[in-house]
Amino acid sequence: MKKNLLNIFIKIIISGLFLFIVFREINIHLLFEVLKNSSKSILISVILLNILLTFLLALRWHTIIKISDKKSRYFYIWKITMIGLFFNLFLPTGSGGDIARIYYFVKKKEEKLKLGISVFFDRFIGSCSVIIMGVIAVIFFRKHISPEAIYAIIIIFIVLLIGWLVIIWNEFARIIGKILPFKIKNKVVTFYYYLRDYGMNGKSVSYASSVSILVQGISIILQYFIVKAIVPYYVFMHISMNIFFIFVPLIWTLQIIPSIGGLGVREISYFFFFTPYIGKEHAIALDLIVFFMTITQSLVGGIVFLIHKEQADRKQH
């Protein structure tokens, strides 16, 4: 209990410190002017398209689930995906939404562990596609990236690479079986074999990875159009879309830094990377609009959750 409270306290301190650093540099009046004068038609279009992206998120997970549960319907998986996004709004990290997805998906199913691992693997595929974008940015545009960001990308890439090696190395289960205590050995080995079932299905992994890269690519392009909505036209004409494909994956990656749901880390990242191109206030305006897009996804998820709960209550009665 004390350890959990300490972790939360550290995250609050980190988030608060980064927010203080950023907003100390910002002219709040100018920030409101930027938001007030933005193109509302572009922003509304971007927000609606961002909600539609949830159907691709669900498609990625559905592709993975079909490996072990061919009966699950795509629309049902979309509903559970939206419920997960809703819980992300209230819980301190994205893992809270994953827990909600697992709970509502496996609640009335057999092989709960195997199906629950699909959520873990879905998150793993998403992380891998982000890091691939980050590595490409490091390879081709490292002159524009700080050494700290490069080191972070490399370290995470190595960790994910080790994860894939563990999945494809069929001797791993035998080794951990010898090392681990008997009480937990069977559970860990079972978890590993279920995870391996997902990871070794090349066709599904390739399809899910392609969908993941498509989702993230569209999300990056949407952020490019947010900038079009908030900066003067003569400024926008000199901004290359390439910098979004360099910096946005880095921003997503840096959000692994301990914080309250990425708060503070996200703001200082947008401030650091985009200020040289669009200015301080516009960089934070971009961040705030991206955050608002996340909230709108979650609120739609809340509506789906209420409908889902009402339908479940009716079946019980």
Secondary structure, 3-state, 253-307:
HHCCCCCCCCCCHHHHHHHHHHHHHHCHHHHHHHHHHHHHHHHHHHHHHHHHHHH
State the sign of the Cα–Cα–Cα–Cα dihedral 32, 43, 76, 101.
Answer: negative
Distances (CA, A) of 199 to 68, 114, 152, 273: 12, 13, 25, 34
- Give a yes or no: residue 88 inside a domain: yes
- Give a yes or no: residue 257 inside a domain: yes
Q: What is the pTM of this model?
A: 0.85
- What pLDDT does 141 receive? 73
Local confidence band at 92 (pLDDT 50, 70, 90 cut-offs): low
The structural domain count of the chain equals 1
More confident residue, 312 or 274: 274
Residues 6 or more apart whose CB falls under 8 angstroms from that of 219 comprise 50, 53, 248
DSSP 180: S
Over residues 286-313, the mean pLDDT reads 88
- Give a yes or no: residue 4 inside a domain: no
More confident residue, 250 or 223: 223
Local confidence band at 6 (pLDDT 50, 70, 90 cut-offs): confident
pLDDT exceeds cutoff 70 at 289: yes
- What pLDDT does 168 receive? 83
Any idea what the Cα angle at residue 46 is, between residues 31 and 122, rounded to 5°? Answer: 110
Residues 6 or more apart whose CB falls under 8 angstroms from that of 295 comprise 89
- Give a yes or no: residue 148 inside a domain: yes
Tens-place pLDDT, residues 195-231: 888 988 889 999 999 999 999 999 999 999 999 999 9
More confident residue, 295 or 257: 295
CB distance 119 to 105 below 8 Å = yes
Local confidence band at 10 (pLDDT 50, 70, 90 cut-offs): confident
Structural domain of residue 212, as residue ranges?
A: 39-316
Average pLDDT, the chain: 85
Which of 12-16, 146-150, 189-193, 307-311 shows the lowest mean pLDDT across its residues? 146-150
More confident residue, 183 or 11: 11
Helices (H), the chain: 2-24, 28-36, 40-65, 74-88, 94-106, 112-141, 147-168, 172-179, 182-199, 202-230, 233-236, 242-254, 265-278, 280-316
Angstrom distance (rounded) from CA 151 to CA 135? 11
- Give a yes or no: residue 17 inside a domain: no
- Residue percentage of the chain with pLDDT more than 70: 91
Angstrom distance (rounded) from CA 220 to CA 197? 31
pLDDT exceeds cutoff 60 at 189: yes
By CB atoms closer than 10 A (0-12, 13-18, 19+), residue 107 is: exposed
- Give a yes or no: residue 1 inside a domain: no
Local confidence band at 93 (pLDDT 50, 70, 90 cut-offs): low
Distances (CA, A) of 249 to 128, 181, 221, 244, 245: 11, 39, 12, 8, 7
- Give a yes or no: residue 147 inside a domain: yes
- Give a yes or no: residue 32 inside a domain: no
Tens-place pLDDT, residues 114-139: 888 999 899 999 988 888 887 887 78
- What pLDDT does 4 receive? 63
Tens-place pLDDT, residues 68-81: 888 889 999 999 99
